[in-house]
Amino acid sequence: MTTPLATPLFTPLALSSARNRQICSQIRFDSKHGKSFESKSIQKLNLSKLRKLDGLKSKKFLKMGSQEMSFERKLSIQAMDGAGAGDTSTISSNVFAIAHLLVSLGIILAADIFLKQAFVAASIKFPSALFGMFCIFSVLMILDSVVPAAATSLMSFFEPALLFIQRWLPLFYVPSLVTLPLSVRDIPAASGVKICYIVAGGWLASLCVAGFTAIAVRKMVKTEMTEAEPMGKPSPFSTLELWSWSGILVVSFVGALFYPTSLGTSARTCLPFLLSSTVLGYIVGTGLPSSIKSVFHPIICCALSAVLAALAFGYASGSGLDPVLGNYLTKVASDPGAGDILMGFLGSVILSFAFSMFKQRKLVKRHAAEIFTSVIISTLFSLYSTALVGRLVGLEPSLTVSILPRCITVALALSIVSLFEGTNSSLTAAVVVVTGLIGANFVQVVLDKLRLRDPIARGIATASSAHGLGTAALSAKEPEALPFCAIAYALTGIFGSLLCSVPAVRQSLLAVVGSGVMT
């Protein structure tokens, strides 16, 4: 018993014989592309056999074939037109995304620069970026209470800039490590050992204080943990980015070697290859296997890449390493180096705290007791214990004051030490970064040894002791702790800055240090 033909494409042919049905049943139909195609067995049939079929003439069959070929050509043309339209749409969307990023990031950077200039003109010592952060957070909260949709739209508008800052955040800490040989040159070896002792021991002590405080408060309030707002993740680095920065490095290095002042000054001429070597080192470092990154952090790879590039240029040009490192971080606004460009983003990092705090406002409200108590106690302990231990081990007062904000993110730590006179800001930045690296490498192991299992306690303890680098390391393996890390990371810097902005607090710290340093 034969099966009737089910393919609508062939019903007008009225094939009558069983042989016709058997042959045509082998013709398949692809519904996805809307076209029929012949199986291999049909393709092998010659034209003479087809002519012998009952009721089927060769002309009719060939006509059908030509119709199919015409239909396929039309589909092919339509597909090509669709692909072209798709490519155009993709290009336009990419252009729009880049423009969106530039505008949103540009607004944040412009706001930071404006606030800095305004605070300098008004002789205000309070961190300008922190004031801007409070303003942005207040605006978001007001909009959320009056017009929630406006607050949501504002958050969405700045999302590309926030992801950019999150993606490149560790890179902004690197200049202090790259120029570390210049920063520690005048520090005696004995003082360097004491600083290392304070940094390593202080990190462990701050971790314990913050973690166990959070556990104690949680046992008292007994607030159940709820799911936090999802945190956006930046995209990984592409091969195109890797090769693009590699090309910039080679071309700019050769250009600076043969034309040392082609861009006006040595710092500007060295800027492209020093910046590209720093970025390239970070991209390579983030792509290393996890087993290697656990002992060779991407930020170390990043700093090492920049130092090697500076060393190679110093050797090839005959100038030596020190002048090239001096060009890396000039601290002169009119003649910036690669490090100045990177550190110029630190203010925008503080402004971005407003958006992360607003996004997690429900979480902060629910766990306010644990978060604020732990952050306040940990920050007070970090500042005053550093001052006390520095005095006990006989560290020079100016160096002790320089490392007071060791557990506070670089941007705000630099603002804090600027409130004191006679401090070494380069040492401050280096100590903060080293503290973060210690936390990034050892925080999980130490938390496990201390039996701190609670995600809230682990997140708060990590961020309060090792700021951004520790936060990134822990959240990569424990995403449930990320919201608490982000909040504690921001609040620790905010509270530390507010605390040190009070003259009485600064005087009390100096009294503990036993310093004649002026405020």
**DSSP symbols for 387-447:** HHHHHHTT--HHHHHHTTTTTS-HHHHHHHHTTSSS--HHHHHHHHHHHHHHHHHHHHHHH
Identify which of 467, 465, 485 has the alpha carbon closest to the alpha carbon of residue 360: 485
Instruction: Provide mean pLDDT across the span 121-135.
Output: 89
Q: What's the pLDDT at 231?
A: 65
- Buried b / exposed e along 407-417 (16+ C-beta atoms within 10 A): bbbbbbbbbbb
Whether residues 288 and 404 fall in one domain = no
Q: How confident is the model at residue 78 (pLDDT cuts 50, 70, 90)?
A: low
158 domain residue, yes or no: no
C-alpha closest to that of 245 among 200, 279, 218, 290: 279
- Residue 348, in any domain of the structure: no
Vertex 301: Cα angle to 200 and 286 (nearest 5): 105
Question: In Å, what is the CA distance from 443 to each residue of 205, 286, 458?
Answer: 12, 19, 9
Instruction: At 23, list the tokens.
Output: 């042959």
Q: What is the DSSP string of 12-49?
A: GG---SHHHHHHHTT-EEETTTTEEE--HHHHTS-HHH
**Up-side HSE of residue 96: CA atoms within 13 Å toward CB?**
7
Cα distance between residue 29 and residue 7, in whole Å: 7
**Is residue 132 one of the residues assigned to a domain?**
no
Same domain, 411 and 450: yes
The partner residues of 35 in beta bridges, in order of sequence, read 30
Residue 37: pLDDT over 80: no
DSSP structure class, residue 222: -
Judgement on whether residues 333 and 408 belong to the same structural domain of the protein: no
Minimum mean pLDDT among 15-19, 349-353, 476-480: which range?
15-19
Q: Is there a single domain that holds both residue 414 and residue 518?
A: yes
Q: Is the pLDDT of residue 284 over 70?
A: yes
Please provide the average confidence, as pLDDT, over all residues in the chain.
Answer: 82
Are residues 435 and 483 both part of a single domain? yes
Classify residue 15 as left (phi > 0), alpha (psi -120 to 50) or beta: beta
The residue-averaged pLDDT of 190-214 equals 93
Helices and strands of the chain, counted as H and E runs: 25, 2
**pLDDT over 80 (residue 66):** no
**Residue 90: pLDDT over 50:** yes
Tell me: pLDDT of 369 over 50.
Answer: yes
Domain end, chosen from 92, 124, 158, is at 92
d(CA 281, CA 273): 12
At 322, list the tokens.
């020190």
Q: Is the pLDDT of residue 36 over 50?
A: no
Q: What is the mean pLDDT of residues 252-261?
A: 92
Residues 413, 297 share a domain? no
Tell me if 512 sits within 8 A of 390, measured CB to CB.
no
Query: Six-digit token pair at 312?
Result: 């190679």
Q: What does the block give as tokens for 502?
A: 């009070």
* Mean pLDDT for the stretch of residues 158-179: 90
> What is d(CA 124, CA 375) in angstroms, rounded to the nearest whole number?
26
Q: What single string gives the DSSP state of each residue in 114-139?
A: HHHHHHHHTT--S-HHHHHHHHHHHH
Q: What is the pLDDT of residue 124?
A: 86
Count Cα atoms within 13 angstroms, Cβ side, for 7: 19
- Output the pLDDT for position 380: 95
Say if residue 417 is in the same domain as residue 491: yes
Q: Let me know: does 408 contact 211? Beta carbons within 8 Å.
A: no
Do 382 and 296 lie in a common domain? Answer: no
Using pLDDT thresholds of 50, 70 and 90, give the confidence band for residue 234.
confident
* Pairwise CA distance, residues 138 & 158, whole Å: 16
Domain limit, last residue, from 339, 368, 401 = 339
- H helical segments located in 228-333: 239-258, 266-286, 290-293, 298-317, 321-328
pLDDT (mean) for 317-323: 90
Query: Phi/psi at 44 (nearest 5 deg)?
Result: -80, -15
Say if residues 326 and 182 touch (Cβ distance below 8 Å): yes
Residue 311 domain flag = yes
Q: Tell whether 261 is covered by a domain.
A: yes
Is the pLDDT score of 183 beyond 90? no
Residue 76 — very low, low, confident or very high, per pLDDT cuts 50/70/90?
low
The residue that leads in pLDDT, 69 or 132, is 132
Sign of the torsion angle spanned by Cα atoms 508, 513, 518, 519: negative
Average pLDDT on 421-443 reads 89
Q: Do 267 and 317 lie in a common domain?
A: yes
In the predicted structure, residue 56 carries a pLDDT above the cut 50: no
212: in domain? yes
If one counts the domains in the chain, the total is 3
Residue 406: count of CB within 10 angstroms of its CB:
25
pLDDT of residue 15: 37
Structural domain boundaries enclosing 208 = 188-229+360-519
Q: Evaluate whether residue 453 is within a structural domain.
A: yes
Residues 410 and 489 in one domain: yes
Whole-structure pTM value: 0.76
Same domain flag for 378 and 397: yes
Q: Which ranges constitute the DSSP H helices of 332-396?
A: 338-343, 346-359, 361-366, 368-392
Least confident of 158-172, 232-246, 340-354: 232-246
Domain boundary residue among 68, 92, 116? 92
The amino acid at residue 219 is: K
23 pLDDT higher than 50:
no
Q: Give whichever of 27-41, 133-147, 472-486 has the largest mean pLDDT.
A: 133-147
Give the pLDDT of residue 229.
Answer: 65
Q: Are residues 263 and 205 in the same domain?
A: no
Q: What is the reported pLDDT for 495?
A: 93
The pLDDT of residue 155 is 94
The pLDDT of residue 515: 64
**Strand, helix or coil at 344?**
coil
Do the beta carbons of residue 357 and residue 418 sit within 8 Å? Answer: no
Tell whether 384 is covered by a domain: yes
- For 370-418, write each residue's pLDDT tens digit: 899 999 999 999 999 999 999 999 999 999 999 999 999 888 999 899 8
Tokens of 200: 């390593």
Q: Which residues of 70-84 are buried (b: 16+ CB within 10 A; e: fewer)?
A: eeeeeeeeeeeeeee
Nearest to 465 by CA among 407, 403, 387, 405: 407
